[in-house]
Each structure stands twice: as structure tokens, then as C-alpha cells.
Chain A
Amino acid sequence: MNVNYMYSLLAVVVLFLLSYLGVKVGLAPLFGIVIPYLAVAVFLVGVVRRVMGWAKSAVPFRIPTTCGQQKSLPWIRHNKIDNPFTPGGVVIRMILEIVCFRSLFRNTRNAIREGKLVHEWEIWLWAAALAFHYSFLVVVFRHLRLFTDPVPVWVQMVEHIDSFFRFEILTDSFHFGLPAVFLSGFVLLAAVTFLFLRRVLSPAVRYISLAADYFPLFLIFGIAFSGILMRYFSKVNIRNIKELTMGLVTFHPHIPDGVDPVFYVHLFFVSILLAYFPFSKLMHMAGVFLSPTRNLPGNTRAVRHVNPWNYPVPVHTYEEYEEEFREKMIEAGLPVEKE
């Protein structure tokens, strides 16, 4: 059994118990008001500080990883996206990177079989990563319903699309599919599960994984699972919950009666995720924008890049060189400055 994975699982179980039991003993204001506010504050301050920290570091050289034909002679077809020459090209490269995970899309897998190195296209990591991030985005977006009154049309539109496919199981004893099934929540759960399984089942990925890689997966699994539980199974009273969330967002927080304890677990998990975010690898969300191998144009030979800390260095000058070798140079018929 993997220690890293156990630590993370244990941490999430402890977090669950803390919030579930905490609310039972009357700590609802702590889990429903204090911690969410603190978490948002830590998230905002933490992310800003981390990004400022990166921004404070210099970019001494322009070092894009060039993944396509450079711009050179006019008759050679330049790859404007993978080796951008202009800021416009960089913007397109970055959009493709951030929106489509273009680099990950290139992924391959190789193995040595019968003495040959075989390469195969490896799409699953890309597909799962894309499914994970987009479903998470839709889920977050849908939750705006709880923080707006009236609910904006565009949030309703996203909900509408998300529930486009109807899944209904309706029997006398078991109801599923009413309210309408949002696909995003289930895709999120499935993608998180895939990413977790990949991490434990692939020996190489398991070997490189830290506790910090499992923890967010378990946490997000917990968030998605508790959300699904509330919506489709325990069918919590959404009106009370909205009362609470609207209180938070309008800075008139109060704890309504009759909110299901599972909701507090859900909210606590989200709070932990927010507070954990700035101190973790989740910062890749902001960092991807600042990666100097992707966000700079490959035009260093045409447009000079300035290094803010470029300092003078000792060099071996031509004069020193000629001083040492003058006689030999003259003998060999090489021109010299001083005869």
C-alpha cells in the first residue's frame, strides 16, 4: 500500500469527519460562515502573492521551446503557431495550450518490443485531463445559481445544455433523473476516478507521485460525490442552501434551519480546496500563463530581448590573445594589430 496515497486519503476522511461531526455538535456557523470566508481570503491573497512572486522574478532570456518551422526565408512555410514570431502568434499558441491542452495532445507512449522502439499515440491522458477541467469549469459555473438572484440567463443556458441528455429512472421506490441530470458532475467524477486509477496503476506514474498529487484528487472526488449525493439522492432543500450562500455573497451571513449536514461537508471540502490551492501544484492554473518556454515569441534574432540584470563579465580580449600568441601568428603569416 502506497504511503503517499494513504496519507491523502486519511486527510480527506479526517476532513469529512471534522465537518460532519462538527455540524452535528452545533458548529454550523464555523463551517458555514467562518471557514468559507477565511478560505476565500486565503485563496485570493495566496494566489495574488504567488503570481506576484513569479512576476517579480526576471525573464532574462527569450527561450521558447520551438515546436515548428522557424520564420526564415520567404519561400519556406513558417509555422506561425508552434514557433510564433509575433505577439499575435504567441496569443494563439497560448490559447491553444490553455483551451485545448495542445502539448498534452501530442503525447505518445513508447516501448521496446522485439528489439525495436515502438511509438504509439497516447490520447487518454489528454482526454481525461480535458474532461476533468471542462466538467469542473461547468460545475463551478452552474454553482453561480447559488450566488446570484435572479439567476442570469447565461447560467441558465449552461444548465440547459448541461442537462441536454435526459436520464431518468423512475420507479415507485426509486427516483433518479428528477431533477434533471447534469452531465458535468458525473463526467467530473469519472475523470477524477480515471486520473486516480492512472496514478496508482501505471508503475511509472505511481513512482513519481507524491501525497500532494493524491490529496487534491481525493478532495475533488469528495466534492463531486457529496454534490451528487445531495442533488440526486438525499435531495436536500435547495432553498435553505441558497439562503445561506446568498447571505455569504451579500455579506449578511446567517445559518438557516434545516440545511443537510452533507452540505456542510461539501462546503468544507470546497473551502479546503480553495485554501490549499495557492500552496500547491494547483497553481499550474496561473503558472501556465507565465511559462517562458510558451509565452514568448521565437524572434530573438530579429528583435533584441533585454535582460534586466545583464552585468559585465570578464572576457579574454583580442589584445590579450594577440599579446600571448603574437610571434607565432607573425611566423604563420597571420595579420596582427601590433607588429
Chain B
Amino acid sequence: MSDLPKPNELISKIDRTPPHTGWMDTPVNIRKGMYCYAANPKSVEYVGLPYPHAWNPVEEDWHLPENWKEILHEGFKVRLERFRSFKVFMDICVRCGACADKCHFFIGTGDPKNMPVLRAELLRSVYRNDFTTAGKILKRIAGARPLTMDVLKEWWYYFFQCTECRRCSVFCPYGIDTAEITIMGRELLNLLGLNIDWVATPVANCYRTGNHLGIQPHAFKDMIDFFVDDIESITGIRVEPNFNKKGADILFITPSGDVFADPGTYTCMGYLMLHHFLKEKYGLDITWSTYASEGGNFGFFTSHETMKRLNAKMYAEAKRLGVKWILGGECGHMWRVINQYMDTMNGPADFLEEPVNPITGTRFENARSTKMVHISEFTADLIKHGKLDLDPSRNDNLVVTFHDSCNPSRGMGMFDEPRYVIQNVVKNFYDMPANTIREQTFCCGSGAGLNAGENMELRLCGGLPRAMAVKHVHEKYGVNMLATICAIDRAALPTLMEYYLPDVRVTGVTELVANALILPGEQERTTNLRGEPLPGMEEEE
């Protein structure tokens, strides 16, 4: 991060004054630090997506097929027929401007094309030109403009400056959802092979190995075994996770990011400990899968079809293993996909049972068709029925706040379950200001495939509103831990905090649970899962 401006420089640089030229006459400037590298053609080819080719965003020539305009026009047309959302959203915006300052990228950059309304106008202007009578006759006066190479570059730059967080949609009087616009924009770009590599390569990996990182089955097991050793040295208990076990009660699927990178790894240890506890105490048999070892779905950031192809593994594996239902780990867009797409795309899952928690008898009626339950719903239910042995004092050194992840918030409505869990395992909990949490939550700035290294300035701009809200509770209540239920958050927020608020760290909710969870027969713990002394144990080190 050496070539980045200091936080106060970054903040003072933000200027919301629009340029003197109108937005149609202000050509895109693809700026270093604000964009992600082009997709590796091998990754695009591996999953058979259109037009894999080498290209570079900052070069003049993007090496497109000769008929690229026709391809996009046809693609646009097909999507208008397939998605009412798209068609209605192309037609009804009145440009009232309610969304304008709701986007974290606009707040962080001041770039008017990051106002959700203008992001959509980038597509709408071409829609009017190609598909509406008024646009065909009145052209510029009707807000229409033809598709040119400059317009295409603008699409690419700004549709990869949107994290599909849907915050603007909450404030729109017609519910116009920029995520839908960006999804369509990216689908169109993918028709020409114009993905970013941080999306395309995880997609190819996930397709082949079952997870984004391309971890092969044996290595996946090795990594989990490594956590098993760590858990043993902390608790004295050797947990024994199942892999690909036929006839298990429940299949567990979580994002692979938690297997790979801190601090997600501690959340992953938390899952292992929770599973072990339930097995020892209540005989609940939970299995992992190496084939469906990814909850996250970068296909969602590519196209609806790619999303479906990657998601298909979940039900296929549940069917093969003959489990009763599926339990899902902490992940943001994974839950948008599970909640709003999976059953429609790859269901009905009539080979699974309506999910019932065998320990509490709770019937998860809200998941009776999809047959997939969120770990926070599951844990909250266990705690409510007093089924977990907890010692929250082990988390007494933490002052926690909760970052609502975009997708579980605005694509699901999961607010109180994780908060209930946290408040039962942590003594000191404070929410951030109301404008920045729950359905109004601010994105981490790195979602929808933008969590790369080369676009760090963009990520720090986009994360600014979240960082400022954390700063508020950090100064007011001494918050030192930011809890979240999203793997991208766990990967992105530590960088954000390191930049703006080095005193605040990031955790998954299940890590907090596992720290408090008393495993049957465990030794007296002196450290938490991170190997740091527990409160009161500092001197005994």
C-alpha cells in the first residue's frame, strides 16, 4: 500500500463537483488503482464462455470481434425479454436523484458516474438509442447515444466499480436495483470475453476443483487437518471432521476463503469446533464436501448461467451423499444466491427433507423448499434453547460491532439472528449508527469480485463510509473488533481497517462463538483461536 495516499489525503481529495462537460461528453479515464486486470483467457476458455482473448484495459485496442456491436445489441434484446426487472428499470427512472449519494463508491470517489442513476444511464442511453422510438427520433435530446468503443469502455470501467450491494435500491421510489443493471452490464461484457481476472479465474477454479482457490481434494483435507491440529493445541480436543460422508445428517458448505486466509481461518476453526460439540453432545453428524467445497459463487458476478453452473454442485452433492438438508456457512453473496436463486435454478430439492434442527426440534419453515439453513439461524436456535455450553467471558477483551453484509441484508433480511448470537457470546456489543447498518448498511467496498490487489485505491474509496462508521463506534465505545458474516468481508475489511483504523480487527461470528464454546472434556484454555491470551490469562503466559 506504499504508493497509496494517506487516509486524510484520500478523504480530502474527494470532490463532488461534477465536471464542466456533460456526462456523455466526458470520456472514461481508466485509471490505475481503480480497475482490475483483464481475465486470463485460459480461465474464460476453461468454462466455455464466449470470446476468450488476451487484452489490456489501458490499451487502445481491446481486440474485439468485428461484429461486437451486433453481439451486444442481440444480447441486450434477449435480456430485455428474459428479465422484466431489466426492461422496467430501463424505462421508468425519473432521475430524481434519491440514489445519487447512497453509493459507497460515489461517497468515496465523488465520481458522478458512480451515482447509481448515472451508472444505469450508461446502459439506458444505449437502450434508448437502440430500442425506443423517442430515442431513435430525438437522439441526444431524448438521452440516447449510440454504442461506441468509448461507451463500451465506460461500461466496463463502471460495472466493475459496483459491488451489486443494492443500497441504492432501498431508497429508490421504484425499487430500481443497480445490482440488476450491473449484472446485465457484466453479462453483456462477458459476451465479448471482457471479464476481470479476479472473477474469471475463481470461476474456472470453482468449476474444476469445487472451490475458488483451485484447492484439490487432498489439499483441501490437508488444510482442514491443519486447523484440527491448532484446535487440539488450544483445547486439547482432537475434532474429527467428516469429508464426503454418505449418510451424514447434514452437508455443510461455506466459502473456501475461510479455509485459506486469516481471519476467515479462525471462523473455519469455529465451524469445526461447533460441529464437534454437536456430534459429541447430541450425535449430530455433519459432513464437509471437497466437491462442493465452495459456498461463494463468482458465477453470480459473471452471468446468470455461470451462477447456475457453479451452484448446481450443492444440490448434486447433497443428493449423492444422501443428507437430510444443507447448512450454509457465513458468506454474503452465497446467501443471496441461495436465498433468491438456487431453488429456482437448480431445484426443486425434493430429495432433501424439510430442515428440522434435530437437537431443538425447531422446524426451519422459512427454508422449507430450499432446504438450506444459515449457520446464524442454526446457532441462534441452539443458543435460544440453551443447547450450547458457553463461557462468554473469554471474549471479555473484545468490544464488538457488527457489519451487516450487503447480501444477507438486502437480499435476505438477516439482521437479528447474528446479533442475537453475538450478544450471547460477547459482553460488549455496540451497533454502528442507524444509517450505516441493517438495510442501510454500507458495503466493504470489495464485493462482487472486486477484492483484488491492483484496484486497492478503489477498494479503499468504496470502503470509506464503512470505515467512518466503525471509527465512530471505535471512538465512542472503544470498539476493537468488527464482526461479520461474510467471507469477502473477512478478506477485505482487515485491509480497510489496517488503512483507516489499525486498532480494529475483523472476525467471523462463529469465531466468537467457538471462543466461548466449552467443548466436552476440554483443557483449560489460555488462548483464543488466534493464539492470543484470553482475558485474565495474560500473566500466566
Contact = CB atoms under 8 A, between A and B. Distances in A.
B134 to A, nearest CB: 5
A309 interface: yes
A61 B84 CA distance: 10
B343 A304 contact: yes
B369 A310 contact: no
A88 interface: no
- Main secondary structure, interface of B, reads helix
B251 to A, nearest CB: 13
Contacts of A58: 81-84
A159 interface: no
Contact of B87 (A54, A71, A318, A329): A54
Interface in A276-325: 279-281, 283-284, 287-288, 290-294, 298-307, 309-310, 313-318, 321-322, 324-325
B177 interface: yes
B172 interface: yes
B175 A294 contact: yes
B338 A301 contact: yes
Contact of A283 (B92, B173, B175, B370): B92
A66 B412 contact: yes
Interface in A248-301: 279-281, 283-284, 287-288, 290-294, 298-301
Nearest to A59: B84
A148 B440 CA distance: 48
A291 B23 contact: no
Interface in A83-113: 83, 85, 97, 101, 103-104, 106-110, 112
B100 A115 contact: no
Interface in A141-174: none
B503 interface: no
Interface stretch (A176-184, A208-216, A220-228): A208-216
Interface in A189-225: 202-213
B520 interface: no
A321 B291 contact: yes
B244 A332 contact: no
Nearest to B345: A310
B530 interface: no
Interface in B326-367: 338-341, 343-345, 347-348, 362, 364-367
Given A104-B173, A332-B222, A290 B366 contact: no
Interface string B61-100: 0000000000000000000111111111101111111101
B221 interface: yes
B344 A305 contact: yes
A62 B8 CA distance: 42
A213 B121 CA distance: 13
B380 to A, nearest CB: 6
Contacts of A331: 218
Contact of A284 (B94, B221, B309, B365): B94
Nearest to B245: A335
Nearest to A210: B143
A68 to B, nearest CB: 6
Contacts of A57: 80-84, 86-88
A72 B414 contact: yes
A154 to B, nearest CB: 28
B503 to A, nearest CB: 17
B246 A73 contact: no
Interface residues of B, number: 120
B57 interface: no
Contact of B340 (A209, A300, A303, A325): A300
A116 B347 CA distance: 47
Interface stretch (A14-22, A74-82, A238-246): A74-82
Query: What secondary structure prevails in chain A residues at the interface with B?
Result: loop
Contact of B369 (A110, A304, A322): A304
Contacts of A59: 84-85
Contacts of B107: 110, 112, 117
A117 B344 CA distance: 40
B143 A334 contact: no
A57 B86 CA distance: 9
Contacts of A112: 11, 14, 107
B81 A67 contact: no
A71 B412 contact: no
A19 to B, nearest CB: 21
Contacts of B316: 315, 317-318
A129 B1 CA distance: 46
Nearest to A79: B413
B344 A66 contact: no
B166 interface: yes
B56 interface: no
A207 B340 contact: no
A56 B81 contact: yes
Contacts of B433: 119
A95 B79 CA distance: 29
Contacts of A107: 98, 171
A65 B177 contact: yes
Contacts of B320: 318
B87 A208 contact: no
Nearest to B350: A304
B411 interface: yes
A290 B88 contact: yes
B286 to A, nearest CB: 15
Contacts of B339: 300-301
B486 to A, nearest CB: 16
A16 to B, nearest CB: 19
9 contacts: A57-B83, A73-B380, A75-B384, A104-B96, A107-B171, A279-B134, A305-B344, A334-B217, A334-B221
| 5 cross-chain pairs, A with B, having the tightest CB-CB distances, nearest first | A70-B413, A287-B92, A332-B218, A66-B413, A293-B175
Given A298-B412, A328-B216, 19 more contacts: A57-B83, A66-B412, A69-B415, A73-B381, A73-B417, A82-B413, A101-B173, A110-B101, A119-B433, A208-B117, A210-B143, A213-B95, A284-B92, A299-B366, A301-B339, A302-B370, A309-B82, A318-B317, A325-B216
